């Protein structure tokens, strides 16, 4: 134990009391007089004596003996040997001459008591020596234990003067002995804990004990959480306060971990409750707008989230347009940067839509990828964010963005829960869109411009420098497609000559009207119509003028427009969307008849019917007779008539089979 200069190397002032403890003593001797003395010593207060004839009768654990007293007849060498076996007990030797005492002390015994004729005096001296030896040994043990302890130990007076401390205090704090001697207990703690330490000192003086926590501050400024316990001591020098400081860093870490787990559990329970509310709202919602509004409202109306919004990406732009939002917005959506100001690697709603994967910014204040939105987000108390794609099967319906007021808000479990929510919302939107499609006549039209020369009619218009219109495309059944094209600005011979340069394409004149010709072109090339059909759509119009093509696509109302646009722009170079429209379908009865008739036709029948129509076979007077049409198609005239009669029968059947029931009462009125 170290101490300041003003205290010297004195006892700590915490001398153990013998008032309530018995000193167990073994008296070793064959001398009857010594045995008699032992019996008298056994009557002294707090001393219990057992007699042993030989040192060998004492076990190595000393049978829990506090002190071993050896009579003058015990051999010195045996004492030294046995003491090495039983070092924990105090040793006292009765001596008759000084030489014996010197040898005993050299052997390491604690005390020597003179064996004289005055037995009363010997008993008194021996009893005093026993108590002193035990006190000294226990004080030494206590001092060594405190010195080696990982806890801080210190003693100070009521005025705050530090009097003694163990080695651990300078080791932990970095202060040397002189510095510590000039400090008070409150000098070792953080400023915010000084008042608590001063209050603890007052309490220990009043009640005798105290326990408190504070951050210990080292000389280097490091703060370490400590628990301090204090006790009031009544010493010969007056009142003293002893203190023990224990590093509770691990405890605080465990408490923090438990608190985090509890918070995570609370958050998960709350999120699950929100999810249940959202699911209930989804059941009640009948439109996409109601679904989106319900999701945002339930997510943002209370902790752990602060703001939520749902957006969708335009077909012709990467920009995400908000559709619904709730919570603390305060113009945040307006403050989001334009697409041009965003870098491709930023955490964005568009990234979530494009990749179909959740995107997170767990520390908005530090995340470099959130830089474009940081200032606007922090001003509104957003500290972390997540973007969840609303995707069901192969269709993406937008993105759900949620913001929380704390960093690291979205752990793996929470991300999984929100990902499930995103899929549920997407499914609900899909179902709502399907319901809407059943009761609406609306369709989506997309208009594209293209200069991709891999598209046959675009390349042909560029080579001929003419205008052309695609009247229809259909498969021939042998892996090729047949396109009927009307060409203006080029004569038939020029067209046939130009097409003839391509060995994979075959051209046949269907009709020659002088300034305008109709051709049937067959070839193996993939068509725009086939590509659109893969997305459930049809090409309603297609034309080209001097190498610049245009085509109009019709899609179902619930189609994934973004997927169609991305697919076409990826498949065909120099192709872009220029217009998106929503329009009403034709009269439902007409659409039903047309769909039924179209479904009834084979590809070959459809081709024969189109060739006859475009050649003028149905005109009056006829532009071409049956033999001429059959020649264009490469079939016999009877086969042409067979196909034509079949098509007519199917058309009439589709018409009459899909008429509304006749009201007989109305006919008879």
Count of other CB atoms within 10 angstroms of residue 341: 9
CATH of the domain at 192: 3.30.450.20
Q: How far apart are CA 647 and CA 651, in angstroms?
A: 6
Q: Are residues 648 and 607 in the same domain?
A: yes
Instruction: Tell me the pLDDT tens digit for each residue of 260-284.
Output: 888 778 877 877 887 788 788 878 8
Question: What's the mean per-residue pLDDT of the chain?
Answer: 81
319 vs 517, more confident: 517
What is the tally of structural domains in the chain? 5
State which H helix or E strand residue 464 sits in.
helix 456-464
Contact present, 328 and 383 (Cβ < 8 Å):
no
- Find the length of the chain: 669
Contact present, 557 and 436 (Cβ < 8 Å):
yes
What are residue 337's phi and psi, to 5 degrees? -70, 160
Of 392, 408, 437, the position where a domain reaches its end is 437
Domain presence at residue 257: no
Q: Is the pLDDT of residue 531 over 80?
A: no
pLDDT of 224 reads 95
Contact present, 323 and 425 (Cβ < 8 Å):
no
Q: Are residues 565 and 448 in the same domain?
A: yes
CATH of the domain at 17: 3.40.50.2300
Closest CA to 162 of 201, 202, 218: 201
pLDDT of 363 reads 86
pLDDT mean over 430-436? 78
Q: At 251, is the pLDDT very low, low, confident or very high (cuts 50, 70, 90)?
A: very high
pLDDT mean over 353-379? 82
pLDDT of 525 reads 57
* pTM of model > 0.85: no
Q: Are residues 295 and 319 in the same domain?
A: yes
Q: Are residues 358 and 278 in the same domain?
A: yes
pLDDT of 669 reads 31
Domain presence at residue 259: no
Q: Is the pLDDT of residue 162 over 70?
A: yes
CA distances from 231 to 19, 153, 181, 630 (A): 20, 12, 20, 116
Beta strands in 248-379 (DSSP E): 307-313, 320-327, 359-361
Domain presence at residue 119: yes
Q: Are residues 82 and 130 in the same domain?
A: yes
Domain presence at residue 383: yes
Please identify which residue in the block is written with the tokens 């205090």: 169
Closest CA to 470 of 631, 606, 614: 614
Domain presence at residue 258: no
Q: Is the pLDDT of residue 418 over 80?
A: yes
H helices of 65-207, in order, are 76-85, 98-106, 119-148, 168-173, 177-181, 194-207
Residues 6+ apart with CB under 8 A from 534: 567
Least confident of 94-108, 339-353, 406-420, 629-643: 339-353
Q: Is the pLDDT of residue 5 over 60?
A: no
Contact present, 323 and 398 (Cβ < 8 Å):
yes
Q: Are residues 492 and 575 in the same domain?
A: yes
CATH of the domain at 305: 3.30.450.40
Contact present, 492 and 466 (Cβ < 8 Å):
no
Q: How far apart are CA 504 and CA 520, in angstroms?
A: 14
Highest mean pLDDT among 77-86, 114-123, 236-245, 518-527: 236-245
Q: Are residues 469 and 500 in the same domain?
A: yes
Q: How far apart are CA 442 and CA 439, in angstroms?
A: 9
Q: Residue 189 carries which DSSP code? A: B
Least confident of 181-185, 382-386, 646-650: 646-650
Q: Are residues 379 and 476 in the same domain?
A: no
Residues 6+ apart with CB under 8 A from 220: 174
pLDDT of 658 reads 53
* Domain that residue 27 falls in: 4-147
pLDDT of 343 reads 42
pLDDT of 592 reads 58
Q: Are residues 417 and 542 in the same domain?
A: no
Contact present, 383 and 402 (Cβ < 8 Å):
no
3-state class (DSSP) for residue 568:
helix
DSSP assignment of 306-342: SEEEEEEE-TT-SPEEEEEEEES-TTHHHHSPPGGG-
Q: Are residues 570 and 600 in the same domain?
A: no
Domain presence at residue 59: yes
User: Residue 133 corresponds to which tokens in the numbers above?
Assistant: 């030896």
C-alpha neighbours within 13 Å on the C-beta side of residue 626: 10
Count of other CB atoms within 10 angstroms of residue 539: 20
C-alpha neighbours within 13 Å on the C-beta side of residue 615: 21
CATH of the domain at 654: 1.10.10
Q: Are residues 134 and 159 in the same domain?
A: no
Closest CA to 272 of 413, 104, 133: 413
Contact present, 658 and 592 (Cβ < 8 Å):
yes
Q: At 48, is the pLDDT very low, low, confident or very high (cuts 50, 70, 90)?
A: confident
Helix count and strand count (H, E) for the chain = 22, 24
User: Residue 503 corresponds to which tokens in the numbers above?
Assistant: 């060995």
Q: Are residues 428 and 289 in the same domain?
A: yes
Domain presence at residue 256: no
Q: Is the pLDDT of residue 3 over 60?
A: no
User: What does the CA dihedral 170, 172, 174, 178 come to, rounded to 10 degrees?
Assistant: -20
Domain presence at residue 179: yes
Instruction: Tell me the pLDDT tens digit for each residue of 279-294.
Output: 888 788 888 889 999 8
């Amino acid at each position: 134990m170290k101490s300041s200069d003003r205290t010297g190397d004195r006892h700590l002032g915490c001398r153990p009391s013998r008032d309530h403890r018995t000193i167990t003593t073994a008296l070793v001797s064959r001398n009857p007089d010594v045995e008699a003395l032992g019996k008298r010593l056994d009557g002294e207060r707090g001393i219990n004596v057992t007699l042993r004839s030989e040192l060998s009768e004492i076990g190595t654990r000393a049978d829990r003996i506090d002190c071993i007293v050896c009579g003058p007849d015990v051999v010195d060498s045996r004492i030294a040997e046995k003491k090495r076996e039983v070092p924990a007990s105090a040793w006292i030797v009765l001596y008759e001459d000084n030489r014996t005492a010197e040898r005993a002390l050299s052997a390491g015994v604690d005390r020597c008591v003179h064996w004289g004729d005055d037995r009363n005096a010997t008993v008194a001296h021996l009893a005093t020596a026993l108590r002193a030896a035990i006190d000294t040994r226990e004080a030494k043990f206590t001092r060594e234990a405190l010195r080696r302890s990982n806890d801080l130990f210190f003693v100070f007076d009521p005025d705050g003067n530090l009097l003694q401390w163990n080695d651990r205090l300078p080791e932990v704090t970095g202060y040397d002995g002189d510095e510590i001697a000039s400090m008070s207990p409150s000098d070792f703690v953080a400023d915010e804990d000084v008042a608590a330490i001063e209050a603890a000192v007052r309490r220990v003086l009043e009640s005798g004990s105290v326990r408190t926590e504070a951050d210990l501050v080292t000389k280097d400024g490091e703060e370490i959480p400590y628990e301090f316990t204090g006790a009031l001591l009544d010493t010969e020098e007056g009142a003293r306060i002893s203190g023990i400081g224990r590093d509770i860093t691990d405890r605080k870490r465990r408490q923090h971990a438990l608190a985090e787990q509890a918070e995570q559990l609370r958050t998960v329970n709350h999120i699950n409750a929100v999810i249940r509310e959202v699911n209930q709202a989804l059941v009640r919602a009948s439109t996409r707008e109601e679904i989106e509004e319900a999701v945002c409202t339930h997510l943002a109306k209370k902790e752990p989230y602060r703001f939520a919004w749902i957006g969708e990406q335009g077909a012709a732009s990467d920009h995400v347009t908000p559709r619904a939002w709730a919570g603390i917005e305060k113009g945040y959506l307006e403050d989001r940067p334009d697409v041009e100001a965003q870098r491709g690697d930023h955490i964005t709603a568009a990234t979530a839509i494009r990749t179909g994967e959740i995107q997170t910014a767990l520390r908005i204040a530090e995340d470099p990828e959130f830089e474009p939105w940081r200032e606007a987000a922090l001003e509104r108390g957003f500290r972390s964010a997540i973007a969840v794609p609303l995707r069901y099967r192969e269709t993406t319906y937008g993105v759900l963005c949620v913001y929380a007021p704390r960093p690291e808000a979205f752990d793996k479990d929470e991300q999984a829960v929100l990902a499930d929510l995103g899929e549920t919302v997407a499914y609900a939107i899909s179902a709502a869109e399907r319901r809407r499609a059943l009761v609406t006549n609306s369709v989506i039209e997309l208009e594209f411009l293209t200069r991709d020369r891999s598209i046959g009619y675009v390349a042909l218009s560029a080579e001929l420098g003419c205008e052309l219109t695609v009247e229809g495309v259909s498969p021939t059944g042998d892996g090729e497609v047949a396109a009927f094209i009307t060409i203006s600005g080029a004569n038939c011979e020029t067209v046939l000559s130009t097409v003839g340069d391509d060995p994979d394409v075959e051209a046949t004149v269907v009709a020659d009207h002088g300034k305008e010709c109709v051709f049937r072109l067959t070839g193996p090339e993939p068509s725009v119509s086939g590509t659109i059909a893969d997305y459930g759509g049809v090409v309603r119009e297609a034309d080209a003028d001097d190498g610049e093509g245009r085509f109009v696509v019709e899609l179902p109302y619930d189609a994934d427009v973004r997927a169609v646009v991305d697919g076409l722009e990826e498949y065909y170079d120099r192709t872009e969307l220029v217009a998106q429209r929503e329009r009403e379908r034709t009269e439902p009865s007409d659409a039903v008849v047309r769909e039924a008739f179209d479904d009834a036709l084979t590809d070959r029948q459809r081709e024969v019917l189109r060739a006859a129509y475009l050649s003028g076979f149905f005109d009056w007077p006829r532009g071409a007779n049956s033999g001429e049409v059959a020649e264009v198609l490469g079939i016999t005239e009877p086969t042409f008539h067979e196909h034509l009669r079949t098509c007519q029968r199917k058309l009439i059947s589709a018409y009459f089979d899909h008429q509304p029931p006749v009201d007989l009462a109305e006919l008879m009125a």
